[in-house]
Structure 1
Amino acid sequence: MRTKSEARKDAIMSVALEVFREVGFDAASMSQIAARVGGSKATLYNYFSSKEELLLEAMLHSAEQHAENVLQLLQTEGDFSQQLHSFVASLLTLVNAPETVEILRVAISVGGTTDVGRRFYESGTQHVWTEISSKLQEEIKKGSLRDVDADRMAMHLRCLCEAEMIRNLLGAHQRMSASEAREKADCIIDIFLHAYGSTR
Protein backbone atom coordinates (compact mmCIF):
# COMPACT_ATOMS: atom_id res chain seq x y z
CA MET A 1 0.00 0.00 0.00
CA ARG A 2 1.36 3.39 -1.01
CA THR A 3 1.95 5.97 1.69
CA LYS A 4 0.70 9.53 1.52
CA SER A 5 4.29 10.72 1.21
CA GLU A 6 4.96 8.42 -1.78
CA ALA A 7 1.77 9.57 -3.49
CA ARG A 8 2.76 13.19 -2.91
CA LYS A 9 6.20 12.59 -4.40
CA ASP A 10 4.67 10.90 -7.45
CA ALA A 11 2.32 13.86 -7.94
CA ILE A 12 5.24 16.30 -7.77
CA MET A 13 7.22 14.33 -10.37
CA SER A 14 4.24 14.11 -12.70
CA VAL A 15 3.59 17.85 -12.54
CA ALA A 16 7.30 18.62 -12.85
CA LEU A 17 7.52 16.65 -16.10
CA GLU A 18 4.58 18.63 -17.46
CA VAL A 19 6.26 21.92 -16.60
CA PHE A 20 9.66 20.87 -17.95
CA ARG A 21 8.05 19.75 -21.22
CA GLU A 22 6.07 22.95 -21.57
CA VAL A 23 8.71 25.57 -20.81
CA GLY A 24 12.05 23.75 -20.76
CA PHE A 25 14.48 23.26 -17.90
CA ASP A 26 15.91 26.76 -17.65
CA ALA A 27 12.54 28.52 -17.68
CA ALA A 28 10.97 26.11 -15.20
CA SER A 29 11.26 27.03 -11.53
CA MET A 30 10.66 25.15 -8.32
CA SER A 31 8.16 27.87 -7.34
CA GLN A 32 6.24 27.35 -10.58
CA ILE A 33 6.12 23.58 -10.05
CA ALA A 34 5.11 23.99 -6.42
CA ALA A 35 2.30 26.36 -7.36
CA ARG A 36 0.91 23.90 -9.87
CA VAL A 37 1.17 20.99 -7.43
CA GLY A 38 -0.49 23.06 -4.73
CA GLY A 39 2.10 23.62 -2.06
CA SER A 40 5.24 25.49 -1.17
CA LYS A 41 8.70 25.43 -2.70
CA ALA A 42 9.97 24.17 0.66
CA THR A 43 7.82 21.06 0.23
CA LEU A 44 9.58 20.25 -3.04
CA TYR A 45 12.96 20.58 -1.36
CA ASN A 46 11.82 18.07 1.28
CA TYR A 47 11.73 15.50 -1.53
CA PHE A 48 14.36 16.74 -3.99
CA SER A 49 17.65 18.49 -3.28
CA SER A 50 17.61 20.56 -6.48
CA LYS A 51 15.76 21.22 -9.72
CA GLU A 52 18.28 18.94 -11.48
CA GLU A 53 17.53 16.12 -9.05
CA LEU A 54 13.79 16.59 -9.54
CA LEU A 55 14.19 16.38 -13.32
CA LEU A 56 16.31 13.24 -13.09
CA GLU A 57 14.05 11.42 -10.64
CA ALA A 58 10.93 12.40 -12.58
CA MET A 59 12.41 11.09 -15.84
CA LEU A 60 13.60 7.87 -14.21
CA HIS A 61 10.22 7.30 -12.56
CA SER A 62 8.37 7.81 -15.84
CA ALA A 63 10.83 5.62 -17.76
CA GLU A 64 10.49 2.84 -15.20
CA GLN A 65 6.71 2.83 -15.49
CA HIS A 66 6.82 2.66 -19.29
CA ALA A 67 9.64 0.10 -19.28
CA GLU A 68 7.67 -2.33 -17.14
CA ASN A 69 4.76 -2.23 -19.57
CA VAL A 70 6.93 -2.62 -22.67
CA LEU A 71 9.24 -5.31 -21.26
CA GLN A 72 6.23 -7.34 -20.13
CA LEU A 73 5.51 -7.99 -23.81
CA LEU A 74 8.70 -10.07 -24.00
CA GLN A 75 7.73 -12.20 -21.00
CA THR A 76 4.61 -13.75 -22.49
CA GLU A 77 4.45 -17.31 -23.76
CA GLY A 78 4.47 -18.09 -27.45
CA ASP A 79 6.40 -17.45 -30.63
CA PHE A 80 9.47 -15.27 -30.07
CA SER A 81 9.07 -13.33 -33.31
CA GLN A 82 5.52 -12.40 -32.31
CA GLN A 83 6.69 -11.34 -28.85
CA LEU A 84 9.42 -9.25 -30.44
CA HIS A 85 6.96 -7.68 -32.84
CA SER A 86 4.62 -6.65 -30.01
CA PHE A 87 7.55 -5.25 -28.06
CA VAL A 88 8.94 -3.25 -30.99
CA ALA A 89 5.54 -1.86 -32.02
CA SER A 90 4.88 -0.74 -28.45
CA LEU A 91 8.36 0.75 -28.12
CA LEU A 92 8.01 2.65 -31.40
CA THR A 93 4.75 4.18 -30.20
CA LEU A 94 6.42 5.20 -26.95
CA VAL A 95 9.67 6.68 -28.29
CA ASN A 96 7.85 8.58 -31.03
CA ALA A 97 5.21 10.05 -28.71
CA PRO A 98 5.39 13.87 -28.51
CA GLU A 99 5.70 13.69 -24.71
CA THR A 100 8.79 11.49 -25.00
CA VAL A 101 10.39 13.73 -27.60
CA GLU A 102 9.72 16.83 -25.49
CA ILE A 103 11.30 15.43 -22.33
CA LEU A 104 14.30 14.09 -24.26
CA ARG A 105 14.87 17.61 -25.56
CA VAL A 106 14.88 18.82 -21.97
CA ALA A 107 17.39 16.13 -20.96
CA ILE A 108 19.65 17.05 -23.88
CA SER A 109 19.43 20.75 -23.01
CA VAL A 110 21.05 20.12 -19.59
CA GLY A 111 23.45 17.43 -20.80
CA GLY A 112 26.33 19.83 -21.34
CA THR A 113 26.12 21.53 -17.94
CA THR A 114 24.93 18.77 -15.59
CA ASP A 115 25.22 14.99 -15.29
CA VAL A 116 21.45 14.52 -15.55
CA GLY A 117 21.56 13.20 -19.14
CA ARG A 118 24.33 10.71 -18.42
CA ARG A 119 22.67 9.46 -15.24
CA PHE A 120 19.33 9.09 -17.01
CA TYR A 121 20.98 7.10 -19.80
CA GLU A 122 22.85 4.83 -17.38
CA SER A 123 20.05 4.29 -14.86
CA GLY A 124 17.02 4.53 -17.13
CA THR A 125 17.28 3.74 -20.80
CA GLN A 126 20.36 1.55 -20.57
CA HIS A 127 18.72 -0.61 -17.90
CA VAL A 128 15.91 -1.46 -20.31
CA TRP A 129 18.31 -2.60 -23.00
CA THR A 130 20.29 -4.67 -20.52
CA GLU A 131 17.04 -6.51 -19.76
CA ILE A 132 16.44 -6.99 -23.48
CA SER A 133 19.96 -8.33 -23.93
CA SER A 134 19.22 -10.94 -21.23
CA LYS A 135 16.04 -11.93 -23.09
CA LEU A 136 17.99 -12.28 -26.34
CA GLN A 137 20.54 -14.45 -24.55
CA GLU A 138 17.71 -16.75 -23.46
CA GLU A 139 16.55 -17.02 -27.07
CA ILE A 140 20.10 -17.87 -28.17
CA LYS A 141 20.06 -20.78 -25.72
CA LYS A 142 16.69 -21.90 -27.09
CA GLY A 143 18.04 -21.79 -30.64
CA SER A 144 15.75 -18.99 -31.82
CA LEU A 145 18.71 -16.69 -32.50
CA ARG A 146 22.26 -17.19 -33.70
CA ASP A 147 24.95 -17.65 -31.07
CA VAL A 148 26.51 -14.19 -31.23
CA ASP A 149 26.98 -11.42 -28.68
CA ALA A 150 23.58 -10.58 -27.17
CA ASP A 151 24.64 -7.06 -26.18
CA ARG A 152 25.53 -6.32 -29.79
CA MET A 153 22.17 -7.71 -30.92
CA ALA A 154 20.37 -5.50 -28.43
CA MET A 155 22.35 -2.45 -29.58
CA HIS A 156 21.42 -3.08 -33.21
CA LEU A 157 17.76 -3.61 -32.31
CA ARG A 158 17.83 -0.37 -30.35
CA CYS A 159 19.32 1.51 -33.29
CA LEU A 160 16.56 0.23 -35.55
CA CYS A 161 13.88 1.26 -33.05
CA GLU A 162 15.37 4.71 -32.51
CA ALA A 163 16.18 5.41 -36.18
CA GLU A 164 13.80 8.39 -36.36
CA MET A 165 14.84 9.94 -33.05
CA ILE A 166 17.04 12.67 -34.56
CA ARG A 167 14.28 13.68 -36.96
CA ASN A 168 11.88 13.93 -34.04
CA LEU A 169 14.25 15.93 -31.86
CA LEU A 170 14.84 18.42 -34.68
CA GLY A 171 11.14 19.16 -34.94
CA ALA A 172 10.21 17.15 -38.04
CA HIS A 173 8.08 14.88 -35.88
CA GLN A 174 4.68 13.41 -36.65
CA ARG A 175 2.70 11.28 -34.21
CA MET A 176 2.93 7.61 -35.17
CA SER A 177 -0.37 5.80 -35.49
CA ALA A 178 -0.84 2.24 -34.25
CA SER A 179 -0.95 0.92 -37.82
CA GLU A 180 2.26 2.77 -38.72
CA ALA A 181 3.95 1.36 -35.62
CA ARG A 182 2.95 -2.17 -36.64
CA GLU A 183 4.18 -1.66 -40.22
CA LYS A 184 7.52 -0.28 -39.03
CA ALA A 185 7.78 -3.11 -36.52
CA ASP A 186 7.31 -5.62 -39.37
CA CYS A 187 10.24 -4.05 -41.20
CA ILE A 188 12.46 -3.93 -38.10
CA ILE A 189 11.76 -7.55 -37.18
CA ASP A 190 12.47 -8.67 -40.75
CA ILE A 191 15.84 -6.91 -40.70
CA PHE A 192 16.72 -8.10 -37.21
CA LEU A 193 15.82 -11.76 -37.78
CA HIS A 194 17.51 -11.74 -41.19
CA ALA A 195 20.70 -10.72 -39.42
CA TYR A 196 20.36 -12.75 -36.24
CA GLY A 197 17.70 -15.40 -36.71
CA SER A 198 18.83 -18.99 -36.29
CA THR A 199 19.42 -20.96 -39.48
CA ARG A 200 18.92 -24.26 -37.72
Structure 2
Amino acid sequence: MARVRTEEKRRQIVGIASQLFQELGYERTSMSLISERLGGSKATLYGYFKSKEDLLQSVLVYDVTEEADRLMNQFLSGKNLREGLITLGRAYMTRRLSPGPIANIRIVSTQPEGSTIGKDFYENVLGPAWKRLADRFKLLMDEGILKKADPWIAAMQWKGMCEWDMFERRLLGAIKAGDPNEIERAAIAAADSFLQLYKADANGKPHRKSKQVKPDAVTTVTG
Protein backbone atom coordinates (compact mmCIF):
# COMPACT_ATOMS: atom_id res chain seq x y z
CA MET A 1 0.00 0.00 0.00
CA ALA A 2 2.86 2.35 0.84
CA ARG A 3 4.39 1.63 -2.56
CA VAL A 4 1.10 2.56 -4.26
CA ARG A 5 0.96 5.84 -2.35
CA THR A 6 4.58 6.54 -3.28
CA GLU A 7 3.85 5.99 -6.97
CA GLU A 8 0.74 8.18 -6.76
CA LYS A 9 2.82 10.93 -5.19
CA ARG A 10 5.47 10.63 -7.90
CA ARG A 11 2.80 10.92 -10.57
CA GLN A 12 1.33 13.95 -8.83
CA ILE A 13 4.71 15.66 -8.74
CA VAL A 14 5.40 14.80 -12.38
CA GLY A 15 2.00 16.18 -13.40
CA ILE A 16 2.58 19.45 -11.58
CA ALA A 17 6.08 19.82 -12.98
CA SER A 18 4.80 19.15 -16.50
CA GLN A 19 2.16 21.86 -16.12
CA LEU A 20 4.73 24.38 -14.87
CA PHE A 21 7.19 23.52 -17.63
CA GLN A 22 4.43 24.25 -20.15
CA GLU A 23 3.32 27.47 -18.43
CA LEU A 24 6.70 29.00 -17.56
CA GLY A 25 9.31 27.04 -19.48
CA TYR A 26 11.96 24.76 -18.02
CA GLU A 27 14.47 27.47 -17.09
CA ARG A 28 11.94 29.63 -15.22
CA THR A 29 10.49 26.71 -13.28
CA SER A 30 12.29 26.12 -9.99
CA MET A 31 12.03 23.30 -7.52
CA SER A 32 10.67 25.89 -5.07
CA LEU A 33 7.79 26.70 -7.43
CA ILE A 34 7.06 23.02 -7.92
CA SER A 35 6.98 22.34 -4.17
CA GLU A 36 4.80 25.42 -3.67
CA ARG A 37 2.31 24.22 -6.28
CA LEU A 38 2.51 20.76 -4.74
CA GLY A 39 1.64 22.15 -1.32
CA GLY A 40 4.51 20.41 0.44
CA SER A 41 8.09 21.09 1.45
CA LYS A 42 11.16 21.10 -0.76
CA ALA A 43 12.48 18.26 1.37
CA THR A 44 9.52 16.11 0.31
CA LEU A 45 10.12 17.01 -3.33
CA TYR A 46 13.82 16.18 -3.13
CA GLY A 47 12.89 12.92 -1.47
CA TYR A 48 11.40 11.85 -4.79
CA PHE A 49 13.61 13.70 -7.27
CA LYS A 50 17.22 14.67 -6.66
CA SER A 51 17.19 17.58 -9.14
CA LYS A 52 15.07 19.48 -11.63
CA GLU A 53 16.83 17.61 -14.45
CA ASP A 54 15.88 14.30 -12.84
CA LEU A 55 12.29 15.51 -12.65
CA LEU A 56 12.33 16.58 -16.31
CA GLN A 57 13.51 13.14 -17.32
CA SER A 58 10.61 11.60 -15.41
CA VAL A 59 8.17 13.97 -17.11
CA LEU A 60 9.49 12.78 -20.48
CA VAL A 61 9.36 9.10 -19.50
CA TYR A 62 5.79 9.25 -18.21
CA ASP A 63 4.58 11.23 -21.22
CA VAL A 64 6.10 9.05 -23.95
CA THR A 65 5.82 5.63 -22.32
CA GLU A 66 2.17 5.94 -21.37
CA GLU A 67 1.33 7.48 -24.72
CA ALA A 68 3.11 4.66 -26.56
CA ASP A 69 0.91 2.15 -24.76
CA ARG A 70 -2.23 4.05 -25.74
CA LEU A 71 -1.17 4.44 -29.35
CA MET A 72 -0.37 0.74 -29.72
CA ASN A 73 -3.82 -0.09 -28.38
CA GLN A 74 -5.28 2.31 -30.94
CA PHE A 75 -3.41 0.49 -33.70
CA LEU A 76 -4.58 -2.94 -32.57
CA SER A 77 -8.19 -1.79 -32.20
CA GLY A 78 -8.68 -1.41 -35.96
CA LYS A 79 -10.95 -3.85 -37.78
CA ASN A 80 -8.26 -4.30 -40.41
CA LEU A 81 -4.72 -3.14 -41.05
CA ARG A 82 -5.70 -0.04 -43.01
CA GLU A 83 -8.15 1.10 -40.36
CA GLY A 84 -5.59 0.39 -37.64
CA LEU A 85 -2.97 2.51 -39.41
CA ILE A 86 -5.43 5.37 -39.93
CA THR A 87 -6.52 5.26 -36.29
CA LEU A 88 -2.90 5.17 -35.17
CA GLY A 89 -1.93 8.05 -37.45
CA ARG A 90 -4.83 10.19 -36.28
CA ALA A 91 -4.07 9.55 -32.60
CA TYR A 92 -0.32 10.01 -33.05
CA MET A 93 -0.54 13.36 -34.82
CA THR A 94 -3.27 14.71 -32.53
CA ARG A 95 -1.03 13.97 -29.57
CA ARG A 96 2.17 15.02 -31.37
CA LEU A 97 0.81 18.52 -31.96
CA SER A 98 -0.74 18.99 -28.50
CA PRO A 99 0.77 21.45 -25.97
CA GLY A 100 2.50 18.93 -23.69
CA PRO A 101 4.63 17.07 -26.25
CA ILE A 102 5.47 20.32 -28.08
CA ALA A 103 6.61 21.92 -24.81
CA ASN A 104 8.72 18.86 -23.98
CA ILE A 105 10.45 18.84 -27.37
CA ARG A 106 11.18 22.55 -27.10
CA ILE A 107 12.71 22.03 -23.66
CA VAL A 108 14.89 19.13 -24.72
CA SER A 109 16.03 20.70 -28.00
CA THR A 110 17.15 23.95 -26.32
CA GLN A 111 19.43 22.39 -23.72
CA PRO A 112 23.13 23.37 -23.82
CA GLU A 113 25.43 21.46 -26.16
CA GLY A 114 27.05 19.52 -23.31
CA SER A 115 23.75 18.36 -21.81
CA THR A 116 22.90 14.67 -22.04
CA ILE A 117 19.16 15.19 -21.51
CA GLY A 118 18.32 14.94 -25.22
CA LYS A 119 20.57 11.94 -25.83
CA ASP A 120 19.20 10.11 -22.79
CA PHE A 121 15.64 10.96 -23.81
CA TYR A 122 16.09 9.51 -27.27
CA GLU A 123 18.08 6.41 -26.29
CA ASN A 124 16.02 5.46 -23.24
CA VAL A 125 12.52 6.69 -24.06
CA LEU A 126 11.77 7.87 -27.58
CA GLY A 127 13.83 5.32 -29.50
CA PRO A 128 12.39 2.33 -27.60
CA ALA A 129 8.86 3.68 -28.15
CA TRP A 130 9.39 3.70 -31.92
CA LYS A 131 11.01 0.27 -31.74
CA ARG A 132 7.71 -1.07 -30.42
CA LEU A 133 6.03 -0.04 -33.66
CA ALA A 134 8.92 -1.48 -35.68
CA ASP A 135 8.56 -4.75 -33.77
CA ARG A 136 4.83 -4.84 -34.56
CA PHE A 137 5.60 -4.31 -38.24
CA LYS A 138 8.18 -7.11 -38.05
CA LEU A 139 5.53 -9.42 -36.62
CA LEU A 140 3.23 -8.58 -39.53
CA MET A 141 6.12 -9.22 -41.92
CA ASP A 142 6.83 -12.59 -40.30
CA GLU A 143 3.15 -13.49 -40.69
CA GLY A 144 3.20 -12.61 -44.38
CA ILE A 145 0.81 -9.66 -44.00
CA LEU A 146 3.51 -7.13 -44.88
CA LYS A 147 6.34 -7.82 -47.28
CA LYS A 148 9.77 -8.53 -45.81
CA ALA A 149 11.76 -5.35 -45.26
CA ASP A 150 13.65 -3.48 -42.55
CA PRO A 151 10.93 -2.88 -39.92
CA TRP A 152 12.72 0.16 -38.48
CA ILE A 153 12.82 1.85 -41.88
CA ALA A 154 9.15 0.98 -42.36
CA ALA A 155 8.27 2.59 -39.02
CA MET A 156 10.25 5.75 -39.83
CA GLN A 157 8.68 6.00 -43.29
CA TRP A 158 5.20 5.70 -41.80
CA LYS A 159 6.10 8.41 -39.27
CA GLY A 160 7.24 10.79 -42.00
CA MET A 161 4.15 10.09 -44.10
CA CYS A 162 1.92 11.07 -41.17
CA GLU A 163 3.73 14.23 -40.15
CA TRP A 164 3.85 16.16 -43.44
CA ASP A 165 5.14 19.58 -42.32
CA MET A 166 2.63 19.88 -39.48
CA PHE A 167 5.14 19.17 -36.72
CA GLU A 168 7.59 21.84 -37.95
CA ARG A 169 4.82 24.42 -38.31
CA ARG A 170 3.55 23.66 -34.81
CA LEU A 171 7.01 23.63 -33.23
CA LEU A 172 7.93 26.95 -34.82
CA GLY A 173 4.65 28.60 -33.89
CA ALA A 174 3.35 28.91 -37.46
CA ILE A 175 0.18 27.20 -36.21
CA LYS A 176 -1.22 27.15 -32.69
CA ALA A 177 -2.82 23.71 -32.89
CA GLY A 178 -3.27 20.80 -35.24
CA ASP A 179 -6.09 20.97 -37.77
CA PRO A 180 -8.24 17.81 -37.31
CA ASN A 181 -9.13 17.77 -41.02
CA GLU A 182 -5.50 18.00 -42.07
CA ILE A 183 -4.54 15.32 -39.55
CA GLU A 184 -7.27 13.06 -40.93
CA ARG A 185 -6.11 13.56 -44.52
CA ALA A 186 -2.53 12.85 -43.52
CA ALA A 187 -3.46 9.69 -41.58
CA ILE A 188 -5.45 8.30 -44.53
CA ALA A 189 -2.77 9.19 -47.09
CA ALA A 190 -0.06 7.69 -44.86
CA ALA A 191 -1.97 4.42 -44.42
CA ASP A 192 -2.65 4.04 -48.14
CA SER A 193 0.91 4.95 -49.14
CA PHE A 194 2.37 2.62 -46.52
CA LEU A 195 0.24 -0.27 -47.74
CA GLN A 196 1.23 0.39 -51.34
CA LEU A 197 4.85 0.05 -50.27
CA TYR A 198 4.62 -2.82 -47.83
CA LYS A 199 1.36 -4.77 -48.22
CA ALA A 200 1.99 -8.38 -49.30
CA ASP A 201 -0.34 -10.28 -51.60
CA ALA A 202 -2.27 -13.39 -50.62
CA ASN A 203 0.87 -15.51 -51.02
CA GLY A 204 2.94 -13.28 -48.77
CA LYS A 205 4.70 -11.63 -51.73
CA PRO A 206 4.99 -7.88 -52.31
CA HIS A 207 2.64 -6.26 -54.78
CA ARG A 208 4.32 -5.72 -58.14
CA LYS A 209 2.23 -2.68 -58.99
CA SER A 210 1.46 0.35 -56.87
CA LYS A 211 -2.31 0.37 -56.57
CA GLN A 212 -4.76 1.97 -54.16
CA VAL A 213 -5.45 -0.59 -51.46
CA LYS A 214 -9.13 -1.03 -50.78
CA PRO A 215 -10.17 -1.19 -47.12
CA ASP A 216 -11.90 -4.57 -47.47
CA ALA A 217 -8.81 -6.10 -49.07
CA VAL A 218 -6.54 -5.55 -46.09
CA THR A 219 -5.80 -8.43 -43.77
CA THR A 220 -6.97 -8.08 -40.19
CA VAL A 221 -4.36 -7.10 -37.62
CA THR A 222 -3.47 -9.95 -35.35
CA GLY A 223 -2.94 -9.41 -31.63
Does TM, normalized by the shorter one, top 0.5?
Answer: yes
Deviation, structure 1 residue 149: 0.9
Question: Are 2:49 and 1:48 aligned?
Answer: yes
Larger radius of gyration: 2
Report % sequence identity: 28
Give distance in 2, aligned partners of 1:151 and 1:171: 30
Quote the residue 1:38 is aligned against: 39
- The aligned counterpart of 1:169 is 171
Give 2:69's aligned residue. Answer: 68
Aligned pairs (5 A) from 1:99-178: 99-110=100-111, 112-163=113-164, 164-178=166-180
Contact 1:30 1:41 in 2 (8 A): yes
Deviations 1:128-172 (A, max 9, x none): 211111111111123222211111111111222344222221111
* Cα distance change, pair 111–150 in 1 and its aligned pair in 2 (3 A): farther
Q: Which residue of 1 aligns with 2:215?
A: none
Give the Cα–Cα distance (whole angstroms) in 1 for the partners of residues 163 and 125 of structure 2: 15
Decide whether aligned partners of structure 1 residues 121 and 162 sit closer, same or farther in structure 2, where only a CA change above 3 A counts: farther
SS in 1 for 2:192: helix
Paired residue type of 1:171: G
The answer (yes or no) to whether the contact 2:102–2:171 under 8 Å persists in 1 is: yes
Q: Distance in 1 between matches of 2:178 and 2:153?
A: 27
SS of the residue aligned with 2:113? Answer: coil
**Where in structure 1 do 4 or more consecutive aligned residues deviate above 3 Å?**
177-180
Q: Is residue 188 from structure 1 mapped to residue 179 from structure 2 by the alignment?
A: no
Aligned length: 200
Structure 1 residues 111 and 138: alpha-carbon distance in aligned structure 2, compared to 1, 3 A threshold: farther
Aligned residue in 2 for 1:22: 23
**C-alpha separation in 1, matches of 2:90 and 2:145:** 20
Gaps of at least 5 residues in structure 2 are: 201-206, 209-223
Structure with greater helix share of residues? 1
The residue number in structure 1 matching 2:218 is none
Tell me the amino acid that sits aligned with residue 123 of structure 2.
E
Offset from partner CA, 1:39-64 (integer Å, 9 cap, x none): 11121111111110100111111211
Q: Is the 8 A contact 1:31 1:41 kept in 2?
A: yes
Aligned partners of 1:111 and 1:117 also within 8 Å: no
Q: 2: distance between equivalents of 1:179 and 1:82?
A: 17
Structure 1 equivalent of residue 216 of structure 2: none
- Give the AA of the match of 1:131: R
Unaligned runs of 5+ in 1: none
Q: Who is 1:90 aligned against?
A: 91
